[in-house]
C-alpha cells in the first residue's frame, strides 16, 4: 500500500490515547488494591500485550464499553505466571515489567518478537541485579530473559547516565516493593509519567531538579490508591499529523486533548522554530498531567533547524517524522546526538538516512549526528522504503508522500498496529 496526497490537511483531530501512559496505567493500577478505571486506553498491540501480561501476573482487567476496570494486587503480591510472558514488539512493556517482577518472589521468562529479541536489556538489568535479583539474558544482552525476583530487596541509590525513561521507570517499579528510601539521580531529564502517576495515586515520592541533575526519592510507606485515569492524546502519534500540516501550506488543523507534558512536546517547539504556525490553546492540568489543544494554520514553508543533543531525549520518538519535515526545509538541518535511535525497534538512525537518500534527499551521518540537505522543490520519491517492520519509520515515510511527486512504496504496513491501529483511517479523514 502506498499513499500520495496533493491536497491539504484539514479538520479537527483527536489523537489516540498516549502509549506511554497507557502502559503505566495498566501496570500501576494493577498494584493498587481496589477498583481503578482507565478510559481512552490505547488499544495498540504493544499496550494490549502489557494488558495480557498483567493479567497473567494476577491482576483482574475487564473491558466494559469504553473503559477498562482494573482490580489490582498489593506490591509484592504478583502471581507466579503459568507460562512465558510474551511482549511482542514492546520494549516499554518488557523493561517496565522487569522492574516490577524484580522485587516479587516469583520467577518468569520474558520474551518478544524478532525485533524485540535484538534490543539490548543489560542497561536495565544491571541496575536490577544490584538488589539481588537473578537475571539471565540471551548472549548476556537480549531477550528471552529469565528472572528470579527477590522479595526482600534493600534500598539503593541509583545514578542513571543513559537518558531513558524505561530504565528509570523500571527502577521505580522495583522500588514499590523495597523497604526504605530509594534514591535516583538522572543526568538528563526524560519523560516523567511514572512519577506523575505515582503522585496522583498517593505514593510517597519527591522530585527535585537543579541545572545539572534530576533527583527522585521514593519511600515505600504508603499504598497505591485506586484511580480513574482518562488517557490523554498521544503526542508521538499526533506528531505525524502536526508535521504534515506544517509541511503543507494552506493546511488548517485543530488537535484536541493532546498530552502536553514538557518531556513529550519537544517536537512542537522544534517545528515552531522551523516556522510551523502552531498555536497552543486551552492548556490545563488533569490528574497531574498537562493537556492542551493545538491550532495549525500553515501559510509558509519550513526552515532548516539545528537540534542540540540535549534536546533529543524530549523528542526521541519524533525524530523520524522531524527528519521528513527537515527534508522539505531548504538548507542544512542537523540533528545531534542520536545514539539512542540505534537501539529502538530498529536502527532508526540508519533507516532514516538510507530512506531519505532513496527518495532523493541528500543525507549524511557523522558519528551520531544526522545531516539533512533539504529542498522545498523536492519532486522525486518513488522509493522502496526499507523499514524493518518499525512502525515509526513506516508512518513517517507514508507522510513523506505529501512532498513527493511519486509515492514511496512500502511493502508491509502491519507494524503500524503496534502503536497506531487507526493511522490510515485518520489519513483518509483529514486529507482533503
Express each pLDDT in 157-170 by its tens digit: 999 999 899 999 99
Express each pLDDT in 397-426 by its tens digit: 999 887 777 788 999 999 999 999 999 999
Preceding amide of 144 cis, omega within 30: yes
Cα–Cα–Cα angle for 360, 242, 231, nearest 5°? 130
For domain 19-230, is the CATH number 3.40.640.10? no
- Map grid coordinates 534514591 to a residue: 183
pLDDT given at position 378: 61
Side-chain half-sphere of 85: how many Cα atoms within 13 Å? 29
The residue with greater pLDDT, 140 or 337, is: 337
Express each pLDDT in 375-395 by its tens digit: 876 656 778 999 999 999 999
pLDDT given at position 270: 98
User: CB under 8 Å, gap of 24 or more: what pairs does 360-369 form?
Assistant: 360/404, 361/327, 368/336, 368/337, 368/338, 368/339, 368/341, 368/342, 369/334, 369/335, 369/336, 369/337, 369/338
pLDDT given at position 380: 67
pLDDT given at position 382: 78
pLDDT given at position 367: 93
Query: Can you read off the three cell numbers belonging to residue 30?
Result: 494493577
| pLDDT at 177 exceeding the cut of 60 | yes
Beta bridge pairs of residue 13 = 255
pLDDT given at position 204: 95
Read off the pTM.
0.92
| pLDDT at 271 exceeding the cut of 90 | yes
- The one catalytic residue among 113, 317, 369, 390: 317
pLDDT given at position 403: 73
Cα–Cα–Cα angle for 42, 44, 50, nearest 5°? 85
pLDDT given at position 3: 47
CATH superfamily to which 10-16+232-430 belongs? Enolpyruvate transferase domain (3.65.10.10)
CA distance 118 to 116: 5
CA distance 115 to 46: 13
Query: What Rg, from alpha-carbon coordinates, does the chain have?
Result: 21
pLDDT given at position 28: 98
Cα dihedral 17, 417, 389, 385 sign? negative
| pLDDT at 343 exceeding the cut of 60 | yes
Q: Is 317 considered catalytic here? A: yes
Note whether 10-16+232-430 and 19-230 share their fold: yes
Express each pLDDT in 317-333 by its tens digit: 999 999 999 998 999 99
| pLDDT at 1 exceeding the cut of 50 | no
Express each pLDDT in 236-250 by its tens digit: 999 999 999 999 899
Q: Output the 3-class SS for 10-39.
A: EEEECCCECHHHHHHHHHHHCCCCCEEEEE
pLDDT given at position 73: 95
pLDDT given at position 428: 84
State the pLDDT confidence band at 2, using cuts at 50, 70 and 90: very low
Express each pLDDT in 83-104 by its tens digit: 999 999 999 999 999 999 999 9
CA distance 388 to 336: 23
Express each pLDDT in 30-51 by its tens digit: 999 999 999 999 999 999 999 9
- Domain residues of the chain, as ranges? 10-16+232-430, 19-230
State the pLDDT confidence band at 4, using cuts at 50, 70 and 90: very low
CA distance 349 to 370: 8
Cβ atoms of 31 and 197 closer than 8 Å = no
Amino acid at each position: 500500500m502506498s499513499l500520495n496526497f496533493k491536497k491539504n490537511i484539514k479538520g479537527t483531530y483527536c489523537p489516540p490515547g498516549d502509549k506511554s501512559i497507557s502502559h503505566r496505567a495498566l501496570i500501576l493500577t494493577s498494584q493498587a488494591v481496589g477498583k481503578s478505571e482507565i478510559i481512552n486506553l490505547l488499544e495498540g498491540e504493544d499496550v494490549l500485550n502489557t494488558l495480557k501480561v498483567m493479567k497473567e501476573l494476577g491482576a483482574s482487567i475487564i473491558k466494559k464499553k469504553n473503559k477498562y476496570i482494573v482490580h489490582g494486587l498489593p506490591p509484592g503480591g504478583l502471581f507466579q505466571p503459568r507460562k512465558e510472558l510474551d511482549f511482542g514488539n514492546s520494549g516499554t512493556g518488557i523493561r517496565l515489567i522487569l522492574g516490577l517482577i524484580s522485587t516479587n518472589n516469583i520467577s518468569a521468562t520474558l520474551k518478544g518478537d524478532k525485533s524485540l529479541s535484538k534490543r539490548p536489556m543489560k542497561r536495565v538489568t544491571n541496575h536490577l541485579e544490584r538488589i539481588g535479583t537473578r537475571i539471565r539474558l540471551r548472549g548476556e544482552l537480549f531477550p528471552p530473559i529469565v528472572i528470579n525476583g527477590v522479595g526482600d530487596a534493600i534500598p539503593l541509590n541509583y545514578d542513571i547516565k543513559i537518558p531513558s525513561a524505561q530504565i528509570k521507570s523500571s527502577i521505580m517499579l522495583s522500588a514499590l516493593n523495597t523497604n526504605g528510601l530509594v534514591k535516583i539521580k538522572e543526568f538528563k531529564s526524560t519523560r516523567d509519567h511514572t512519577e506523575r502517576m505515582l503522585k496522583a495515586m498517593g505514593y510517597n515520592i519527591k522530585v527535585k531538579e537543579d541545572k545539572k541533575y534530576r533527583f527522585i526519592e521514593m519511600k515505600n510507606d504508603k499504598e497505591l490508591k485506586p484511580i480513574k485515569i482518562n488517557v490523554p492524546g498521544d503526542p508521538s502519534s499526533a506528531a505525524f499529523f502536526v508535521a504534515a500540516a506544517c509541511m503543507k501550506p494552506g493546511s488548517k488543523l485543530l488537535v484536541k486533548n493532546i498530552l502536553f507534558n514538557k518531556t513529550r512536546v519537544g517536537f512542537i517547539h522544534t517545528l515552531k522554530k522551523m516556522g510551523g504556525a502552531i498555536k497552543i490553546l486551552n492548556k490545563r492540568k488533569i490528574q497531574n498531567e498537562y493537556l492542551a489543544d493545538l491550532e495549525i494554520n500553515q501559510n509558509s514553508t519550513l526552515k532548516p533547524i539545528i537540534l542540540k543533543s540535549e534536546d533529543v531525549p524530549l523528542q526521541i520518538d519524533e525524530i523520524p517524522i522531524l527528519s521528513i519535515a527537515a527534508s522539505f526545509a531548504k538548507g542544512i538541518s542537523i540533528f545531534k546526538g542520536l545514539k539512542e535511535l540505534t537501539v529502538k525497534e530498529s536502527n532508526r538512525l540508519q533507516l532514516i538516512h538510507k530512506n531519505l537518500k532513496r527518495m532523493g534527499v541528500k543525507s549524511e551521518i557523522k558519528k551520531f549526528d544526522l545531516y539533512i540537505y533539504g529542498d522545498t522543490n523536492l519532486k522525486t520519491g518513488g522509493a522502496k522504503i526499507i523499514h524493518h517492520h518499525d512502525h515509526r519509520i513506516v508512518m513517517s515515510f507514508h507522510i513523506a508522500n505529501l512532498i513527493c511527486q511519486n509515492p514511496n512504496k512500502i511493502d508491509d504496513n502491519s507494524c503500524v498496529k503496534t502503536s497506531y491501529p487507526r493511522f490510515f483511517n485518520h489519513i483518509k479523514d483529514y486529507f482533503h
